[in-house]
Amino acid sequence: DAEESVLGGVLLDMHALDRVVEVMGADDFYRGSHRKIFRAMLTLSEKGEPIDLITLADTLKARGELQEIGGATYLAELADKVPSAANIVHYARIVREKAVLRSLINVCSEIVTRCYNGEEDIERFLDEAERLIFDVSEKRIRPSFFKMGDMIMDTIKLVEKLYERKELVTGVPTGFLDLDRMTAGLQPSDLIIVAARPSVGKTAFVLNIAQYVTLHANTAVGIFSMEMAKEQLVLRMLCSEARVDNAKVRTGYLGERDFPRLAMAAGRLAEAPIYIDDTPAQNVL
């Protein structure tokens, strides 16, 4: 049993607890008695005290939980379950994976029950179902600290790659030279927020970048619009690409030279990998 192996491994090597908590938590144990034992181990570790059969039994006894978990005899049995703590991280991952699966089963059961009831607004229910499943995904424990020795080698490789390329723009170019000089292009991990007062050109600026990225950098772009409809966005991009005044198009006062420009621009945009989602009331889920 993976749960018993984790607890037994910590009893054999108290320092193994540090590796375990990077993978799982007390709530990941299926058996309530195992959760109580693990929490007692964490308490001892936080106090800087040794974790062994005697200290663990004393801690559980002080909490009135020793008999609930099976007594000191059960603790001794746990210590005998595994020959060493060498594979404790593997056992901890198994416990964590099973916990995630149980959470997913519970969430799916709730969703199925509510589907059969059919008493909720469908749009709200779909959002709620997405949120419930997203919550399960977010409960996965991810490492927050990384060893410098592991990171520095990847960084050196990146420096070598940049040295070989010797390019001013190493990411995805935006078409705005000053911006590209400051950012070296759009980088994979970048989060860039464009903030300004209303009606000063934020949308036009972003759409221009999207056009340039797709038409010149051959990179797909996804646009999520919470204000403008997709038709408005496409019209803006079409006018921008054709170099035709948007006001002339909206009012219908187009010149003879404007139609060929619009037709050629439409052909280029039709082949561009641009995807627009104008679903109202969008959220991060």
For the chain, the domain total comes to 2
Task: Examine the domain organization and report whether 13 and 114 are in the same domain.
Answer: yes
Q: For residues 198 and 87, state if they share a domain.
A: no
Is residue 202 a part of any domain in this protein?
yes
Alpha carbon distance 39, 17 (integer Å): 11
Positive or negative, the Cα torsion across 69, 72, 77, 83? positive
Residue 227 appears among annotated catalytic residues: yes
Query: Average pLDDT for residues 169-191, to the nearest whole number?
Result: 88
Q: Is residue 107's pLDDT more than 60?
A: yes
Same domain, 120 and 38: yes
Same domain, 96 and 208: no
Confidence of residue 143 (pLDDT cuts 50, 70, 90): low
User: Between residues 199 and 166, which one has the greater pLDDT?
Assistant: 199
- Radius of gyration, alpha carbons of the chain: 29
In a shared domain, residues 67 and 131: yes
- Amino acid, res. 226: M
Exactly one of 119, 123, 138, 227 is catalytic; name it: 227
Strands 274-277 and 221-224: parallel
pTM: 0.54
On whether both 139 and 200 belong to a single domain, the answer is no
* Residue 257 located in a structural domain: yes
Q: Which domain holds residue 237?
A: 193-277
**What confidence category does residue 169 fall into, taking pLDDT thresholds of 50, 70 and 90?**
confident
Number of CB atoms found within 10 A of residue 78's CB: 25
pLDDT for 33-50, tens place per residue?
999 999 999 999 999 999
Q: pLDDT-based confidence at 144, cuts 50/70/90? A: low
Query: Looking at the structure, do residues 1 and 132 belong to the same domain, yes or no?
Result: yes
Is 173 among the domain residues? Answer: no
What confidence tens digit (pLDDT) does each residue in 6-18 have?
A: 999 999 999 999 9
209-253 pLDDT, tens digit per residue, is 999 999 988 899 999 988 889 999 999 999 999 999 988 888 888
d(CA 63, CA 70): 14
Distance from the Cα of residue 260 to its chain's centroid: 45
Of 14, 19, 102, whose CA–CA distance to 56 is shortest? 14
How many angstroms separate the CA atoms of 50 and 14, rounded? 7
Residues 39, 133, single domain; the answer is yes
